[in-house]
Chains A and B, each alone.
Chain A
Amino acid sequence: MNVTLTTAGPLPPEEDGATYDVTVVGAGVVGAAIARELARHDLRTALVDAADDIGSGTSKANTAILHTGFDAVPGSLEARLVREGRDLLAAYAAETGIPVERVGALLVAWDEDQLAELPRLREKAARNGYHASRIIDADRLRTLEPHLGPGALGALEVPDESIICPWTTPLAFATQAVRAGVHLHLNCRVRGVDSDAEGHTLTTSRGPLRTRYLVNAAGLYADEIDRLLGHDVFTVTPRRGQLIVFDKLARDLVGHILLPVPGPAGKGVLVAPTVFGNVLLGPTAEELDDKTATGSTAEGMHLLREKGRRIVPALADEEVTAVYAGLRAATGQEDYRIQEYPGRRYVAVGGIRSTGLTSSMAIGRHVVQLLAAVGLDLTRPRALPPLTMPNLGESFPRPYRSAGLIAQDPAYGTLVCHCEQVTLGEIRDALSATIPPHSLDGLRRRTRARGGRCQGFHCGAAVRALFEEARP
């Protein structure tokens, strides 16, 4: 296996004048999925990102739901790609060990207007090809969710909504792509694009990069990359979503993804289990103009806690494990903006909002078809080498409970992070993986180490020592 992953210094020189066939800008979940799809063809492909890790923008901070797409706008590109992407990702997750739990969702009606809205939502789901949703009454709802706050009148049950690990997914895509020969260049910001009849020359923070075809999957910065190609068709407005993660000891309070009935003010705040065994509350929806404003605010947390108190009152007494904020790439249009440019050897992938995790693999397939449509010569696809990801899911076997694994290597019986039960073996594996982390946060997203209730009080220094030993 010949892996090309660079994080510093000039980009590798063109070998004998050869250029990349395709370059994907943006190594989030969508860019990584596109790169993985391209890896199935005999092409020279590059995946570049301005950050020091894959999936470290919008992809790392979301609600981690594998959607059915029941509430998409019927007939939209998003509706189609979410529906297709869901099946693709569910199968891929089963194959590679990405944790997924089919917990189901309940759209809870808290007043008569919302209750009256449920049949319409059910019809909409059917128009999206989803027929398994059903309306349940208050008694049934109470049985399903005994800790729900008072006043719920009924709900639309969507049994197939699932929760997924948001970190393992892009890591799996990128790992498989890189192992199949895709070049990954991190810390590589694209500052300019010069296009000619043969392709594009990207000016990056690490020098020039020549490519015949270009895919823009830059997330929050997709509009800026698009403008570098002379277009002015969309603007990405960051919409901040703040979230609160409650302690694992709160997990028994919530069985389903508890969604509000969407109203004029948008999708609203949800309460959901996570595959790590926590409970998630959020997100807020704040229109901003700063694409780096991933901070949380006192007002945001106050609002969330108020909403959370109404949905599941007992949450208020539980410890908070983590607080974070993510930015959705809103474009002021309801649909994805995926656009191919014949003659320009270019595909723009913009406006991929919260459903992007679910639809990522379908977007990958769609974009590769578009590249073919604008002239890329695709050879017959080949199978990618199989991949097994380390499991971060609470409901699946973890090394600390595996007698066999510990017998083979006692490092899997040596717990380093106690809150999340992360072993020395897992940390070493992550640090020597195909795509290793470049920061403690990156290590946390790969192993959960330092991500638990004590946030490093007990293990922070030990984990840092292991990280610095492996990556001086």
Chain B
Amino acid sequence: MTRNAREVDVLIVGGGPAGLAAGAELAAAGAGRVEILEREQEAGGIPRHCHHGGFGGRLDRSAYAWASANGTAYAQASASGSAYVPGSVSGPAYARRSVAAARDAGAALRTGVTVTGWAGPRTVETTGPSGLERITARAVVLATGARERPRSARLIPGTRPPGVYTTGELQQAVHLYGQRIGTRAVVVGNEPVGHAAAATLRAAGVQVVAMVTDRPAPPVRPRRRRTPLLTGTTVTALTGRSRLSGVALRHDDGRTTTLRCDTVVLTGDFVPDHELARRGGLVLDPGTRGPAYDAAFRTSRPGVFAAGNLLHAVERAGIAAQEGRAVAVPVLHRLAGTEEPPGGGRRLVVDAPLRWIAPNVTGPDGARPQGDRFVLRTARRLTRPLLVVSQGGRRLHSQRLLLPAVPGRPFHLAADWTDRVDPHGAPVRITAR
């Protein structure tokens, strides 16, 4: 086997919002040879096929704010790296803009190149039309993103006819390939991505029969929707042979029904695309299923960083990009040999019904995460929960949330307790009551 061996300063795996932002920031900051590998033929990630607005808003301001709050020497570089214009654009426009920003800053963006495995701590093997390579980097940033769990992973029983989609496949089919979908669809999931799927279906001329969620009805009914929303309802089977013919449902109170349709879209339930991280032996967080990471985006392997939805599927593109820009700072520290030494690195663990926290390792020397807050998700609705942070029975922090925490949406925990963590103590535990 012939592999062309090369070396770069920073290798970024994944050309979505996080990877492109990291590449733009690092290249602009003079990190040397910064290379972004994107396995798709076009870079840009998920926004490429999100034909709806809402991209490029407030969250897309530079990581300058975070960097300057942390007083790093790279704040200047971060701020001057590229001009991010706040506003609301469509996904494809956002993707194009992100690609241009990375290229303009001087990052080498290579599409159609897939990382197929590791050949060393910071060495990857790649496959592309021009052949096989082995690329060694001084720092690696994993930005491999997330995907929705498909029907099989959700263990939905029934037959296996065509007509079953995830939002990702649906959006690509409609917006990138103009493929025919069907006539009547059911959307499973009512998070924002579910509404995006419904919009895509309508754009493709498909009637959306209903949206279905197993979650209970919210206490305040939203205003009348175009599509009926069935809450507290589980999909019990898919039917049909050569084509999907219906979706069998069971409501919490025991009622059952079958909705006639030829298309079903399973939305949400994102899971990090963590194959490369796991194959590399990186420690994963059991909650997020992404690599365990600290406030400096460091994984368990020195010199390997992670950013974006690989860390915590799934947040909006703007947040992924913000993390991509933020990861530049610790990467530059590493390249300069001024990386903060590991500051204890205690694991943060959550108790049910909390699902995960991110970051989930305490940072170097009490460093604070982005925005000075941790992100959390819950498995069930919590009305004004009290979040308690403790270590070995010692309470470090408690905080009452003023708004309910609901599944499918992030909420936050202030980070002003991290300097009280005993770097040699037990894992830090976060509970909600």
Q: Could you list which residues of chain A lie within 8 angstroms of chain B, going by C-beta atoms?
A: 245, 248-249, 292, 294-298, 300-301, 319-324, 400-404, 406-407, 410-411, 413-415, 418, 421, 439-440, 453-458, 460-462, 464-465, 468
Q: Are B116 and A421 in contact (CB under 8 A)?
A: yes
Please measure, in the bound complex, the distance between the C-alpha atom of A320 and the C-alpha atom of B151, giving whole angstroms.
Answer: 10
Q: Are B150 and A464 in contact (CB under 8 A)?
A: no
Stretch binding the partner chain, chosen from B17-25, B63-71, B162-170, B304-312:
B162-170
- Fill in one digit per residue for B304-325: 1 if any A CB lies within 8 Å of its CB, else 0: 0000000000000000000000
Give the nearest-CB partner of B167 in chain A. Answer: A457
19 of the cross-chain contacts (CB-CB < 8 Å) are A249-B278, A292-B241, A294-B159, A295-B239, A296-B157, A297-B237, A298-B236, A298-B237, A323-B155, A400-B114, A400-B127, A411-B129, A413-B132, A414-B112, A415-B112, A456-B169, A457-B168, A457-B169, A465-B177
* Residues from 223 to 245 in B contacting A, C-beta threshold 8 Å: 236-237, 239, 241
Q: Are B155 and A320 in contact (CB under 8 A)?
A: yes
* Residues from 34 to 85 in B contacting A, C-beta threshold 8 Å: 39-40
Please measure, in the bound complex, the distance between the C-alpha atom of A125 and the C-alpha atom of B187, giving whole angstroms.
Answer: 53
Give the nearest-CB partner of B279 in chain A. Answer: A249
Which residues on the A side are within 8 Å of B152 (C-beta)?
245, 320-323, 455
Which residues on the B side are within 8 Å of A414 (C-beta)?
112, 128-129
Q: Are A457 and B147 in contact (CB under 8 A)?
A: yes
Q: Are A324 and B160 in contact (CB under 8 A)?
A: yes
Which residues on the A side are within 8 Å of B127 (C-beta)?
400-401, 406, 413, 415, 421
Give the nearest-CB partner of B155 in chain A. Answer: A301
Please measure, in the bound complex, the distance between the C-alpha atom of A296 and the C-alpha atom of B155, giving whole angstroms.
Answer: 9
Which residues on the B side are within 8 Å of A319 (C-beta)?
149, 153, 271
Which residues on the B side are within 8 Å of A249 (C-beta)?
275, 278-279
Q: Are B150 and A418 in contact (CB under 8 A)?
A: no
Please measure, in the bound complex, the distance between the C-alpha atom of A252 and the C-alpha atom of B9, giving whole angstroms.
Answer: 33
Which residues on the B side are within 8 Å of A401 (C-beta)?
1, 116, 127, 132
Any chain A CB within 8 A of the CB of B158?
Answer: yes
Which residues on the A side are within 8 Å of B165 (C-beta)?
456, 460
Q: Are B39 and A410 in contact (CB under 8 A)?
A: no
Any chain A CB within 8 A of the CB of B179?
Answer: yes
Q: Are A455 and B237 in contact (CB under 8 A)?
A: no
Which residues on the A side are within 8 Å of B278 (C-beta)?
249
Any chain A CB within 8 A of the CB of B148?
Answer: yes
A28: shortest Cβ distance to chain B, in Å?
18
Q: Are B236 and A456 in contact (CB under 8 A)?
A: no
Q: Are B130 and A456 in contact (CB under 8 A)?
A: no
Please measure, in the bound complex, the distance between the C-alpha atom of A468 and the C-alpha atom of B177, giving whole angstroms.
Answer: 11
Which residues on the B side are within 8 Å of A323 (C-beta)?
152, 155
Any chain A CB within 8 A of the CB of B131?
Answer: yes
Q: Are B2 and A403 in contact (CB under 8 A)?
A: yes
User: Per a CB cutoff under 8 Å, which of B1, B131, B172 touches A460?
Assistant: B172
Any chain A CB within 8 A of the CB of B203?
Answer: no
Any chain A CB within 8 A of the CB of B395?
Answer: no
User: Per a CB cutoff under 8 Å, which of B128, B129, B151, B159 touches A455?
Assistant: B151
A61: shortest Cβ distance to chain B, in Å?
10
User: Per a CB cutoff under 8 Å, which of B160, B168, B173 touches A458?
Assistant: B168
Q: Are B150 and A457 in contact (CB under 8 A)?
A: yes
Please measure, in the bound complex, the distance between the C-alpha atom of A403 and the C-alpha atom of B166, giving whole angstroms.
Answer: 34
Please measure, in the bound complex, the distance between the C-alpha atom of A461 and the C-alpha atom of B169, giving whole angstroms.
Answer: 6
Give the nearest-CB partner of B145 in chain A. Answer: A458
Which residues on the B side are within 8 Å of A298 (C-beta)?
155, 157, 236-237
B266: shortest Cβ distance to chain A, in Å?
10
Any chain A CB within 8 A of the CB of B333?
Answer: no
Q: Are A464 and B173 in contact (CB under 8 A)?
A: yes
Please measure, in the bound complex, the distance between the C-alpha atom of A282 and the C-alpha atom of B162, giving whole angstroms.
Answer: 24
User: Per a CB cutoff under 8 Å, which of A245, A415, A457 touches B114?
Assistant: A415
Further contacts, 20 of them, CB under 8 A, given A403-B131, A454-B166, A457-B166: A245-B152, A295-B160, A298-B157, A298-B236, A321-B152, A322-B152, A401-B132, A406-B127, A414-B112, A440-B162, A453-B153, A453-B275, A454-B168, A455-B152, A457-B150, A460-B165, A460-B172, A462-B172, A464-B173, A465-B177
A320: shortest Cβ distance to chain B, in Å?
5
Any chain A CB within 8 A of the CB of B3?
Answer: yes
Most buried by B among A297, A323, A461: A461
Which residues on the A side are within 8 Å of B236 (C-beta)?
298
Q: A249-B275, A421-B116, A464-B177 are in contact. Are A454 and B3 (CB under 8 A)?
A: no
Which residues on the A side are within 8 Å of B172 (C-beta)?
460-462
Q: Are B158 and A296 in contact (CB under 8 A)?
A: yes
Please measure, in the bound complex, the distance between the C-alpha atom of A300 and the C-alpha atom of B176, giving whole angstroms.
Answer: 38
